[in-house]
Each structure stands twice: as structure tokens, then as C-alpha cells.
């Protein structure tokens, strides 16, 4: 029951973040932050598919579940590892594209190199474990993505420290998005590294759940603050 509560809470936070991002889209549609609207709704879609495993377990004879088993196959409905093994690389690649679009030219080559290297890591991992693609998480993809993300964030923060933006960080939408993702990566890297030793225990789930709450809390806060800040600027300029 406790695990179900947090799973549902995070799912609703993901939907709320996507809705808030959609409502405030016109406030950032001309910035690289627009990529995150796609990522947020993709997250909602993936998490919805991920729930099929639970509904298939409790309601195997329901017509909806029989429909999805016919479309996706029994194994893909009974296990959702394949969904997240596809989604995780897409998620990190979206962040890397954002970094590439946002950072100055001097750092773009670093981000481009990281992006290419990450694609190679993903390709090697998928090819090496293609026969077990739906039998467990490809943790090396997650760990590599998180480590590469930390490098990109260091470049972002270094650039930030040498600009006037550092004086108004709390008003910056990229700061809220990227820092939320930074906190998520810093807290989840250890549990991904030792996931098998933890055997996906309650400690694993608690850390992952709290990290997700912080992540989507930062997203929602950033979109709201950005929208209010731009509204106040518009009123001031009248």
C-alpha cells in the first residue's frame, strides 16, 4: 500500500508537471526549454504503458488487457523493462540536446562528444544484451547517462558563474529543470550501481520515489516561476 501510494503520487506529479508545462508553453516556446514539453508528455505516456504490468497481473481477463496482449505480446505486457530501456536513453539524449542548444559555442563540442559517446554506449549495451532486453534494466545505460549528465551540468554551471544570470538563478527555468535533474542523478546513481545488491528493496524504492518527487517538484516550480517572472516583466514594461 505504501509503495502504491508513492507510485501513484509520482504518476500524478508527472501529469501535473506536463500540464503546467503545456499551460505556460508560450512563455518559453522560443527557448531550448521547449524540448522538455515533449519529454514530459513522453514520460506520462511511458509511465502509463508501464502500468500495464500491474493491471495485467490483477485483471488478466479484462478486455483491455487482452487487447494489449494481442498488440504487444504477452511478454511485453507482463514485463515493462523494455519500455524503460527505450525511454531512459531518449530522456538523456533530450537533456544533452538541451545542453548543446543552451551552452555557448566553446562548450558545444564537449556536449556533442558526450552525446556521440553516449549513443555508442547505448548501442553497445543493447546489442550485447539484446536477448535479455525485456528481462531487466540496462543499468549501464542509466549510469553512463547520469555520469555524462554531471559533466554537462558542470559546464553549464561554470558558464553560469561567469554570467549575470547567476544573480537571478531562482527565476531561471533552465536552472530549475537542470538542477532538479542533477539532484535526481546524484541520488539515484548509487542505487542504480548497487541495484542488484539491494535487490530492488524498499530502500531502493524510497530513494527513487523521493528523487522523483524532488525532480518533478523542481520542474513545476520552474515553469510557474518563469511564467510569473515574464508576466511581471511585461507589466513593468507597459
Q: In this predicted structure, what is the pLDDT of residue 236?
A: 46
Q: Residue 129: inside a domain, yes or no?
A: yes
Q: Residue 231: inside a domain, yes or no?
A: yes
Q: With CA atoms as reference, report the closest residue to 102 among 153, 43, 27.
A: 153
Q: In this predicted structure, what is the pLDDT of residue 1?
A: 46
Q: Residue 63: inside a domain, yes or no?
A: no
Number of domains in the chain: 1
Can you spell out the DSSP letters for the chain?
A: -HHHHHHHHHHHHHHHHHHHHHHTGGGTTTSGGGHHHHHHHHHHHHHHHHTHHHHHHH-TTSHHHHHHHHHH-HHHHH--HHHHHHHHHHHHHHHHHHHHHHS-HHHHHHHHHHHHHHHHHHHHHHHHTGGGTTTS--HHHHHHHHHHHHHHHHHHHHHHHTSGGGGGGGG-HHHHHHHHHHHHHHHHHHHHHTHHHHTT-HHHHHHHHHHHHHHHHHHHHHHHHHHHHHHHHHHHT-
Q: In this predicted structure, what is the pLDDT of residue 237?
A: 46
Q: Residue 65: inside a domain, yes or no?
A: no
Q: In this predicted structure, what is the pLDDT of residue 125?
A: 92
Q: In this predicted structure, what is the pLDDT of residue 2?
A: 46
- Give the span between the Cα atoms of 20 and 24, in whole angstroms: 6
Q: Residue 207: inside a domain, yes or no?
A: yes
- Give the span between the Cα atoms of 59 and 6, in whole angstroms: 21
Q: Residue 59: inside a domain, yes or no?
A: no
Series of mean pLDDT values for 10-residue runs along the chain (238 residues): 64 95 93 92 92 83 86 84 92 95 89 96 91 82 93 92 78 92 89 65 76 94 88 50
The answer to whether 79 touches 53, Cβ cutoff 8 Å, is yes
Cell of 101: 542548444
The reported pTM is 0.88
The answer to whether 213 touches 12, Cβ cutoff 8 Å, is no
Range of the domain at 136: 2-32+85-236
Q: Residue 107: inside a domain, yes or no?
A: yes
Q: In this predicted structure, what is the pLDDT of residue 202?
A: 67
Q: Residue 217: inside a domain, yes or no?
A: yes
Amino acid at each position: 500500500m505504501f509503495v502504491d501510494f508513492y507510485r501513484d503520487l509520482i504518476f500524478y506529479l508527472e501529469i501535473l508537471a506536463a500540464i503546467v508545462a503545456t499551460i505556460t508553453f508560450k512563455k518559453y516556446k522560443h527557448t531550448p526549454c521547449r524540448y522538455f514539453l515533449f519529454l514530459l508528455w513522453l514520460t506520462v505516456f511511458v509511465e502509463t504503458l508501464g502500468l500495464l504490468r500491474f493491471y495485467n497481473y490483477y485483471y488478466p481477463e479484462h478486455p483491455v488487457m487482452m487487447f494489449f496482449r494481442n498488440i504487444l505480446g504477452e511478454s511485453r505486457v507482463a514485463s515493462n523493462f523494455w519500455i524503460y530501456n527505450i525511454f531512459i536513453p531518449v530522456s538523456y539524449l533530450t537533456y544533452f540536446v538541451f545542453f548543446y542548444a543552451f551552452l555557448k559555442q566553446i562548450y558545444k563540442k564537449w556536449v556533442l562528444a558526450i552525446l556521440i559517446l553516449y549513443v555508442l554506449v547505448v548501442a553497445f549495451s543493447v546489442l550485447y544484451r539484446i536477448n535479455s532486453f525485456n528481462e531487466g534494466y540496462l543499468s549501464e545505460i542509466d549510469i553512463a547517462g547520469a555520469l555524462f549528465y554531471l559533466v554537462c551540468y558542470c559546464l553549464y554551471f561554470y558558464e553560469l558563474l561567469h554570467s549575470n544570470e547567476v544573480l537571478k538563478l531562482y527565476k531561471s527555468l533552465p536552472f530549475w529543470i537542470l538542477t532538479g535533474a542533477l539532484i535526481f542523478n546524484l541520488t539515484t546513481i548509487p542505487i542504480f550501481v548497487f541495484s542488484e545488491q539491494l535487490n530492488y528493496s524498499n530502500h531502493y524504492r524510497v530513494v527513487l520515489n523521493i528523487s522523483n518527487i524532488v525532480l518533478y517538484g523542481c520542474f513545476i516550480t520552474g515553469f510557474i516561476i518563469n511564467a510569473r517572472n515574464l508576466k511581471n516583466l511585461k507589466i513593468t514594461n507597459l
